Amino acid sequence: MTTSTADLDLLAERAAQAAPVLAASSAAERAAWLRAVADVLDANLAELVAIADEETALGEPRLRGEVGRTSGQLRLFADVVLEGSYLEAIVDDADPAATPPRPELRRLLVPLGPVAVYSASNFPFAFSVLGGDTASALAAGNPVIVKAHSGHPRLSARTAELAIGALAAAGAPEGSLALVEGRAAGEALVQHPRIRAAGFTGSLSGGRALFDLAAGRPDPIPFYGELGSVNPVVITPAAAAARGEQLAGGLVGSFTLGAGQFCTKPGVVFVPAAAEGFVGTVTAGAADATGGRLLTERITEAFPAGVERLAADPAVRVLATGSGETAPTVLETDAAAVAQRPDDLLEEVFGPTTLLVRYTDEAQLLAALDAVPGSLTATLHSEPGDDVAAVLARLSDRAGRVLFAGWPTGVAVTWSQHHGGPWPSTTSGHTSVGATAIRRFLRPLAFQDAPQHLLPAALRDEALTGIPHRRNGRLVG
């Protein structure tokens, strides 16, 4: 099913009419709307999980947990709105004695207007109709039009229906949330003159196409895309010697989790050339693992082609292949080959596979890390006596989150979380997970010598007493 041009125009016009109402809403009102949506999601958990499992085959336990994450992040953004620091309110009082004389200036962040959100296939709740993009855009005071993912259309439609009803019952204006379907509608959406920003999670090719459409408009708009990531891992010789078996088990569990369909899957793992025990344990674990069908037919068909492309490289060999429709696969190469041909060896393969990269010394490791593309995460497993300053500098330069324990699959939804990184992992320096994801859908606005009654409510003196802000250079509250 594809949303017609006429229907898209109607939904966009309703969103435009709702925008000033949402922008003028109080923090308490928006928080109540977000919590109402979270409540309806939890209240209909069983029905939604059943639909999601039919369409994605991700399994009831995983999907139930994802619903909890999704309703939890809606409630987190309700707290963010009420706390108020997201506004970045700043006041500089007038000072006629300054050189030059200084007027009164007050600044805060304001909503952009209608936002387009593109659902992801691999998280049918947390990165879909009511995912982090929608939650943060609504929290910022923007209407949202979601483009449903073709991998879970019935779930998208039912989730949107419940959420729109909950928003209406809670007093949100008509047009606060809408859903469109079909590729043509998705392309038209990012180009629609009523849309002021877009959030996307998906493939590099699909995201780049939409990014180019957003940039090519007569009035270019920000496009916040999460596109692809190999999430490099470095294991030092000391770590491999001290806890190689434990690390190997953790790697197998991480790259096969959810059939390898997490955007934070560890896809490239740098290991010491002599770490035979670690490599052997990973190989055995992968050989015993079973892979099921992937999220969509297209993704399922693309997985073996991606593995075959890597395996065809003369510097690569297949170490282990598990069982099942999409068999978990471990491949191996060397750091010198990665440094020479990163475009061939470091292209993301979506699904349950990982590439082990053997290095002989730090110089070889650093040369290979210099070739690693931007990623959402980077992981460093080392021991207290290791000198890892140079390695850490490389990893920090190429990722938005650096881990020193555990594995990157699993993203906590918190105030301090950052889920983003250099290109091609994202198209910007912003996060799509955590409290500061709200920043994407706001813009700064300053007022000079404005009468109190004409200022936005949050910038008036009586309101500033209740939110953190900066006055004359000093933090208050």
How do residues 310-350 score in pLDDT, each as one tens digit?
999 999 999 999 998 899 999 999 999 999 999 999 999 99
Mean pLDDT of 80-96: 97
Place of tokens 């959030």: 199
Q: Please tell me the distance from the alpha carbon of residue 190 to that of residue 187, in angstroms, as a whole number.
A: 6
- If one counts every other C-beta atom within 10 angstroms of the C-beta of residue 85, the result is 14
DSSP state, residue 102? B
Judge contact between 338 and 370, C-beta under 8 A. Answer: no
Two tokens at 32?
């109540």
How do residues 122-178 score in pLDDT, each as one tens digit?
999 999 999 999 999 999 999 999 999 999 999 999 999 999 999 999 999 999 999
Strands 144-147 and 474-476: unpaired
pLDDT of amino acid 296: 86
Residue 109 has pLDDT above 90, yes or no: yes
Buried b (16+ CB within 10 A) or exposed e, 219-231: eebbbbbbbbbbb
Strands 474-476 and 469-471: antiparallel
Q: Please tell me the distance from the alpha carbon of residue 175 to that of residue 141, in angstroms, as a whole number.
A: 12
pLDDT of amino acid 297: 85
93 vs 293 pLDDT, higher one: 93
pLDDT category at 382 given cuts 50, 70, 90 is very high
pLDDT category at 101 given cuts 50, 70, 90 is very high
pLDDT category at 477 given cuts 50, 70, 90 is confident
263 is catalytic: yes
What stretch of H or E contains 66?
helix 60-83
Rounded to the nearest integer, the mean pLDDT of the chain is 96
pLDDT of amino acid 80: 98
Mean pLDDT of 22-42: 98
Two tokens at 148?
């449903």
DSSP state, residue 256? H
Q: Please tell me the distance from the alpha carbon of residue 11 to that of residue 30, in angstroms, as a whole number.
A: 21
Between the alpha carbon of residue 324 and those of residues 289, 294, 358, the distances in Å are 8, 11, 28
Backbone angles phi, psi at 220, to 5 degrees: -55, 145
Pick left, alpha or beta for residue 174 (phi over 0 → left; psi -120 to 50 → alpha; otherwise beta).
Answer: beta
Residue 59 has pLDDT above 90, yes or no: yes
Catalytic residue among 55, 181, 263, 332: 263
Residue 268 has pLDDT above 90, yes or no: yes
Two tokens at 76?
């987190």
Query: Which residue in 437, 398, 417 sits closest to 231, CA to CA?
Result: 398
pLDDT of amino acid 301: 86
Judge contact between 197 and 441, C-beta under 8 A. Answer: yes
Mean pLDDT of 22-48: 98
pLDDT category at 184 given cuts 50, 70, 90 is very high
Q: Which domains does the chain have, with CATH numbers?
A: 5-227+426-476 (3.40.605.10), 232-403 (3.40.309.10)
pTM over 0.85: yes
pLDDT category at 236 given cuts 50, 70, 90 is very high
Catalytic residue among 226, 332, 362, 383: 226
Q: Please tell me the distance from the alpha carbon of residue 339 to that of residue 369, in angstroms, as a whole number.
A: 8
pLDDT of amino acid 293: 84
Judge contact between 130 and 37, C-beta under 8 A. Answer: yes
Q: Please tell me the distance from the alpha carbon of residue 274 to that of residue 165, in angstroms, as a whole number.
A: 60
Beta-bridged to residue 322, according to DSSP, are none
Judge contact between 349 and 310, C-beta under 8 A. Answer: yes
DSSP state, residue 265? -
60 is catalytic: no
Residue spans of beta strands (DSSP E) within 5-49: none
